[in-house]
């Protein structure tokens, strides 16, 4: 009995061993020897992210400096195409396609289309070409023979993709920045990426034979949410004028110049209206590849003498009339000799600043602060000179202002700092100090971003902020304003003093250090030439700084002759475009309806009557005629009703097509793009977004801010002619 049981168990054991060997063999055969063909039931599924429309980076007036425009990839589903119908139109269709996709001839397209339709297993997602087409080309393709029968017959599949473009080419390129697929980048594109890129959608895909992934319907699919627009403080016209003036001077340097920067700031607010950065590349061209304004801290030279004089005046050490004896223009302190380019002789403090005397300011620093150098350093720091600004773009260099407690401090540190050496600040930090002098002592924080928007509605607004309400007393400010005006009238800045309006400022020339080699570059030297100031002197509207960096040279290089002319050109251009803002010229008024919106005057009349504004009557007001609108810049029509949008566009000579119903939710060309008069405009109509979840998600990305009323404002705009979104305090 036991022997029989053993034989049975023995047989079962070998049976399982045999099954295991057979299974293993089958796996090896199917995996490596002859894999099975994939059949229609063997379909894989996955969910893919759908790219959202990236938000625009806008100038202060709303013109797009970086925008994403739609391009289209075309595919065909051959499973719905009738072969006989295709063969009927194949010649004209192939010829038409080859006129758009020039990489293939008509005969090649004919072979491709007929070949795909003749296959036993038809491709449901065949790409026509790797080239993307724009909206105008897409509309033309939809009119081609056979394709014009509609997608149910032609099998045409249109997939929208986006391309990033820069309407003003290289203008403001370093501030705008860029970002790649690996999320590496610079400028606003990088620092605001989480807001600009929006929230991706989700699309279920299935794989058919040949490895093609085709989108399919699924309840878990969700549409992408467009990114926020970032409206900057940059004025495109100012930026262009500053860049043009800077390039003229750079090219006049005959390759003696390595690079340059120019910044224009609004005195009252600290808003940066222009920031140009140009560096000579290996090809010899000047391009925006390095941000001198923000990332380059260096010894500022004589422009820092204004800081020194402000400190001396505020501490009641001197007045502008204090007498100075500067001797023969050379003065030795410790082991360092301070020299002037020419002997000035006896003078007062005002003339010492006018002539930018190194000897005068080095001696004053020693005479009044040598017993307590901490007092001078503390005064500089109390005035907030060189503090970080935490701008919207990363890469801000740290200032270097030494104090007597550091090992690097020496007996010559104090007089060297007084004339702008032995310390480092960026051009933007220098400008911010001069801007405070222009603003009667109020130091505003420079800023580049004014607001985040979503479909024209403000999500977050950035108000001007103050770093230091009073860097010094009113008396000191008035003296400094007088002194800086005198520099241009009587001193080193007089080369730009014959402007059509008064300018105040300071010239500066400093040597560029070469690490442990001092200021020598194999027997040559490098310089930076600076002019910084504000205008008009009696009621400052703007402040600006121009800095040019020389290549190795044995020649002379001065701020007055190199940076001054650029400053003057920029200032005069800013004056020419808006003299009324400076108290010159009067705003013209005439009888009409105030320009409430881009709508018919009859509609505006109804609105005024409903609001009981002057009983709907015409009143003296600033009126914007439709004919006065610029025909080279596309306006923003999103949110408008179709009737009003058509009225305006057609009166301006545009050819309009549209689809859908409701309000305008998208347009091509997009707002801010340069367009030709009479071009085609496409309007997409629909219901404006009411997705409060999206708004809250985007707000979560804005550090330290939560605005709960924005979603309600966006919802309400669907049921009202206009909506006002209050600014975030």
Is the confidence at residue 595, as pLDDT, over 60? no
- Measured between alpha carbons, how far apart are the two ends of the chain, in Å? 96
More confident residue, 650 or 426: 426
pLDDT at 345: 86
Tokens of 41: 């039931």
Is the confidence at residue 360, as pLDDT, over 90? yes
pLDDT at 501: 84
Enumerate the β-bridge partners of residue 423.
401
Lowest mean pLDDT among 255-269, 398-412, 705-719: 705-719
Tokens of 516: 């442990």
The Cα 364–Cα 280 span in angstroms is: 39
In eight-state DSSP terms, residue 203 is E
Q: Convert the pLDDT of each residue in 272-289 to its tens digit.
A: 999 999 999 988 899 999
pLDDT at 409: 94
Cα–Cα distances in angstroms (integers) from residue 141 to residues 98, 134, 158, in the given order:
11, 11, 11
pLDDT at 346: 92
The Cα 323–Cα 310 span in angstroms is: 17
Tokens 């027997």 belong to residue: 523
Enumerate the β-bridge partners of residue 668.
682
Q: CB-based contacts of 607: which residues, under 8 Å, 6+ apart?
A: 596, 721
Is the confidence at residue 556, as pLDDT, over 50? yes
Read off the pLDDT of each residue in 189-211 and give the average, rounded to a whole number: 82
pLDDT at 533: 97
Lowest mean pLDDT among 453-462, 494-503, 557-566, 629-638: 629-638
User: In which band, very low, low, confident or very high, does the pLDDT at 1 lie, cut at 50, 70 and 90?
Assistant: low
Is the confidence at residue 698, as pLDDT, over 50? yes
Is the confidence at residue 599, as pLDDT, over 70? no
Is the confidence at residue 209, as pLDDT, over 80? no
Tokens 């629909």 belong to residue: 686
More confident residue, 586 or 8: 8
Highest mean pLDDT of the ranges 52-56, 218-222, 454-458, 469-473? 469-473
More confident residue, 684 or 244: 244
SS3 content of the chain, % helix, strand, coil (to 5): 35, 25, 40
pLDDT at 717: 33
Give the residue among 284, 169, 157 at the shortest CA–CA distance from 213: 157
pLDDT at 523: 72
Read off the pLDDT of each residue in 558-587 and give the average, rounded to a whole number: 73
pTM (2 d.p.)? 0.73
The Cα 502–Cα 498 span in angstroms is: 8
pLDDT at 321: 96
Tokens of 345: 């002789």
pLDDT at 489: 92
Q: What φ, ψ does residue 395 adopt, rounded to 5°?
A: 100, 15
Buried b (16+ CB within 10 A) or exposed e, 693-706: ebbeebbeebeeee
Give the residue among 679, 683, 650 at the shortest CA–CA distance from 666: 683
Read off the pLDDT of each residue in 309-337 and give the average, rounded to a whole number: 94
Tokens of 223: 């549409």
pLDDT at 582: 60
Is the confidence at residue 729, as pLDDT, over 80? no
Average pLDDT, the chain: 82
Q: Convert the pLDDT of each residue in 122-132 to its tens digit.
A: 888 888 888 89
Is the confidence at residue 667, as pLDDT, over 70? yes
Provide, rounded to the nearest whole percent, the portion of the chain with pLDDT above 70.
Answer: 82
DSSP string, 503-564: -EEEEEEEEPP-GGGTT-BTTBB-EEEEEEEEESTTS--EEEEEEEEE-SBSS---HHHHTH
Lowest mean pLDDT among 37-41, 380-384, 572-576, 658-662: 37-41
User: In which band, very low, low, confident or very high, does the pLDDT at 629 lie, cut at 50, 70 and 90?
Assistant: very low
Tokens of 81: 């195409």
DSSP string, 362-422: HHHHHHHHTT-HHHHHHHHHHTTTT-----SSS-PPPPEE--TTSTT--TTHHHHHHTT-S
Positive or negative, the CA dihedral 169, 170, 176, 179 is positive
Angle at the Cα of 156 (from 155 to 158), degrees rounded to 5? 145
CB 78 within 8 A of CB 117: yes
Cα 659 off chain centre by: 32
The 10 Å Cβ neighbour count of residue 118 is 10
Question: How, if at all, do strands 542-550 and 257-266 pair?
Answer: antiparallel
Q: What φ, ψ does residue 164 adopt, rounded to 5°?
A: -85, 125
Q: Strand, coil or helix: what is 21?
A: helix
CB 443 within 8 A of CB 466: yes
Q: What φ, ψ does residue 373 adopt, rounded to 5°?
A: -60, -25
Read off the pLDDT of each residue in 290-316 and give the average, rounded to a whole number: 96
pLDDT at 36: 55
Lowest mean pLDDT among 119-128, 200-209, 357-366: 200-209
Lowest mean pLDDT among 38-47, 80-89, 233-242, 595-604: 595-604
Highest mean pLDDT of the ranges 6-15, 113-122, 408-417, 698-707? 408-417
Question: Virtual CA dihedral for 571, 233, 243, 506, nearest 10 degrees?
Answer: 40
CB 684 within 8 A of CB 657: no
Is the confidence at residue 219, as pLDDT, over 90? no
The 10 Å Cβ neighbour count of residue 653 is 11
Read off the pLDDT of each residue in 529-554 and give the average, rounded to a whole number: 92
């Amino acid at each position: 009995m036991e022997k029989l049981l053993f034989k049975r168990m023995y047989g079962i054991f070998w049976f399982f061993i045999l099954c295991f060997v057979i299974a293993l063999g089958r796996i090896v055969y199917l995996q490596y020897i002859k894999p099975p063909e994939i059949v229609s039931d063997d379909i894989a599924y996955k969910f893919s992210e759908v790219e959202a429309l990236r938000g625009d980076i806008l100038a202060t007036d709303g013109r797009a400096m970086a925008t994403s425009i739609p391009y289209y990839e075309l595919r065909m589903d051959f499973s719905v195409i009738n072969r006989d119908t295709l063969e009927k139109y194949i010649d004209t269709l192939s010829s038409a396609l080859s006129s758009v996709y020039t990489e293939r001839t008509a005969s090649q397209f004919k072979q491709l289309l007929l070949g795909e339709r003749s296959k036993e297993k038809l491709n449901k997602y065949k790409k026509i070409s790797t080239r993307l087409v724009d909206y105008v080309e897409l509309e033309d393709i939809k009119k081609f023979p056979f394709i014009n029968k509609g997608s149910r017959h032609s099998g045409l599949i249109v997939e929208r993709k986006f391309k990033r473009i820069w309407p003003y080419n290289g203008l403001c390129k370093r501030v705008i920045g860029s970002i790649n697929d690996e999320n590496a980048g610079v400028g606003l594109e990088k620092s605001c990426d989480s807001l600009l890129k929006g929230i991706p959608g989700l699309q279920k895909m299935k794989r058919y034979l040949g490895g093609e992934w085709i989108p399919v319907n699924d309840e878990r699919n969700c549409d992408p949410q467009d990114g926020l627009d970032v409206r900057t403080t940059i004025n495109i016209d100012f930026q262009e004028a500053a860049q043009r003036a800077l390039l003229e001077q750079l090219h006049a340097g005959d390759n003696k110049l390595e690079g340059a920067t120019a910044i224009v700031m609004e005195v009252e607010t600290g808003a940066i209206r222009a920031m140009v950065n140009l560096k000579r590349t290996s090809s010899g061209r000047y391009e925006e590849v390095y941000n001198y304004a923000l990332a380059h801290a260096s010894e500022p030279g004589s422009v820092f003498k204004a800081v020194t004089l402000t400190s001396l005046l505020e501490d009641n050490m001197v007045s502008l009339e204090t007498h100075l004896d500067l001797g023969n223009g050379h003065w030795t302190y410790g082991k360092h000799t301070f020299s002037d380019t020419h002997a000035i002789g006896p003078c007062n403090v005002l003339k010492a600043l006018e002539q930018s005397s190194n000897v005068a300011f080095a001696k004053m620093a020693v005479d009044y602060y040598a017993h307590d150098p901490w007092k001078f350093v503390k005064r500089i720091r109390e005035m907030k000179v060189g503090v970080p600004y935490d701008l919207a773009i990363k890469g801000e260099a740290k200032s270097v202002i030494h104090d007597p407690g550091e090992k690097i401090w020496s007996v010559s540190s104090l007089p060297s700092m007084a004339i702008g050496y032995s310390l480092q600040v960026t051009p933007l930090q220098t400008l911010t100090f001069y801007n405070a002098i222009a603003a009667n002592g109020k130091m505003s924080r420079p800023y580049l971003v004014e607001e985040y928007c979503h479909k024209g509605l403000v999500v977050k607004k950035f108000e001007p902020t103050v770093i230091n309400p009073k860097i010094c007393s009113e008396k000191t400010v008035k003296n400094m304003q007088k002194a800086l005006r005198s520099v241009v009238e009587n001193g080193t800045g007089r080369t730009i003093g014959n402007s059509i309006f008064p300018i105040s400022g300071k010239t500066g020339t400093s040597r560029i250090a070469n690490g442990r080699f001092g200021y020598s570059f194999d027997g040559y030297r490098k310089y930076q030439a600076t002019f910084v100031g504000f205008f008009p002197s009696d009621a400052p509207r703007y402040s600006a700084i121009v800095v040019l960096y020389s290549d190795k040279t044995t020649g002379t290089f001065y701020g007055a002759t190199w940076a001054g002319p650029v400053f003057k050109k920029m200032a005069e251009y800013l004056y020419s475009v808006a003299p009324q803002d400076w108290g010159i010229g009067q705003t013209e008024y005439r009888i009409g309806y105030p320009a409430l919106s881009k709508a018919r005057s009859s509609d505006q009349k109804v609105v005024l009557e409903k609001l009981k504004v002057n009983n709907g009557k015409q009143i003296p007001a600033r009126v914007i005629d439709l004919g006065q609108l610029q025909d080279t810049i596309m306006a923003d029509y999103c949110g408008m009703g179709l009737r009003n949008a058509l009225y305006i566009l057609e009166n301006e000579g545009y050819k309009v097509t549209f689809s859908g119903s409701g309000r305008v939710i998208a347009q091509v060309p997009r707002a801010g793009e340069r367009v030709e008069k009479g071009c085609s405009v496409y309007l997409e109509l629909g219901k404006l977004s009411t997705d409060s979840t999206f708004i809250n998600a985007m707000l979560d990305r804005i550090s330290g801010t939560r605005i709960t009323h924005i979603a309600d404002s966006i919802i309400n705009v669907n049921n009202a002619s206009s909506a006002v979104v209050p600014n975030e305090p």
